[in-house]
Amino acid sequence: MDVVRFSVGTLTAIPVRPPSKVDRSVTVPGMILAPLAVLPLGLVVGLICWAGREIGLAPIAVAATAIAALALSSRAFHLDGLSDTADALTCSYDAERSLEVMKRGDAGPAGASALVLVLGIQVGALTALLGLAWGPLLAGTLVCLSRGVTVVMSVRGVPAARDTGLAATYVGTIAPWVAISCWLVLTSVLAVVMEISDLPWWRALICAAVALLAVAWLVRRSARRFGGVAGDVFGAAVEISLAMMLLVST
């Protein structure tokens, strides 16, 4: 139950009791459980998309409402990470200075620009998906699958930017075969949903590949600038991968 409480409590705004302990025995499986922990968030996005479309509301407004609900349902946790990461990557070439800016948390020009661009891609792509009969199902599925990048980023060999903090308990801990297995399962689920949505199943492979490339670039960039990844970088990876997968799905 500690694993479930950690995963749900960290990745969603659903009120749960805090875990009795927060160490690797809890945080590592919690990262693996991430796509399942956010199933309620995927359901919320899917229902808003379906209901808004069925009653004839403007598609772009429905898509924006769904993305807003997703942000509220996760306490804008990942959006905050996206903003902080963008600011940290552009503020200085000094690792300590960059990490200090990331930790400070206020949004600068780069952070604000990143939010506008990524959210714009998400809303625009989701608007297009509303034209598919099973588009709401696909949208909800992608919300859950985008959280699967947390497993990829926690794989052994990925360095942590800090020795302290929550991220230090799970970065570089997951065996490669576990990360590969999880990603293959998620990609298979997406392929099935693609078929249900009258889209070619192989588009799921492109979605997965594009998300992995985006995450790989972000990890490489963070390792060069900060010496590794931090919790905010995880949030940025989630938002960027969701935007890319929504876009490719159109």
Strands of 146-233, DSSP E: none
CA proximity to 118, closest of 229, 226, 220, 214: 214
Q: Which amino acid, 208?
A: A
Q: In the predicted model, what is the mean pLDDT of residues 110-118? A: 92
CA proximity to 149, closest of 240, 73, 80: 240
Q: In the predicted model, what is the mean pLDDT of residues 75-80? A: 89
pLDDT tens digits for range 152-188: 888 888 888 877 777 788 888 899 999 999 999 999 9
Residue 250 has pLDDT above 70, yes or no: yes
Residue 227 CA to residue 249 CA, distance in Å, equals 33
Residue 242 CA to residue 207 CA, distance in Å, equals 10
Pull the structure tokens for residue 218.
């972000």
Residue 105 has pLDDT above 70, yes or no: no
Q: Please give the pLDDT value at position 189.
A: 96
Higher pLDDT, 92 or 202: 202
Q: How far is CA 84 from CA 13, 34, 97, 248, in A?
A: 20, 22, 13, 26
Pull the structure tokens for residue 3.
């694993």
Q: Please give the pLDDT value at position 46.
A: 96
Q: Please give the pLDDT value at position 119.
A: 96
Higher pLDDT, 250 or 168: 250
pLDDT tens digits for range 207-244: 999 999 999 999 998 888 888 888 889 999 999 999 99
Pull the structure tokens for residue 117.
């661009």
**Worst-scoring range by mean pLDDT, 43-57, 132-146, 191-205, 226-240?**
226-240
Whether the Cβ atoms of residue 149 and residue 237 lie closer than 8 Å to each other: yes
Q: What percent of the chain has a predicted confidence (pLDDT) above 70?
A: 99
Residue 113 has pLDDT above 80, yes or no: yes
CA proximity to 75, closest of 123, 11, 144, 120: 11
pLDDT tens digits for range 203-212: 999 999 999 9
Q: How confident is the model at residue 21 (pLDDT cuts 50, 70, 90)?
A: confident
Residue 102 has pLDDT above 90, yes or no: no
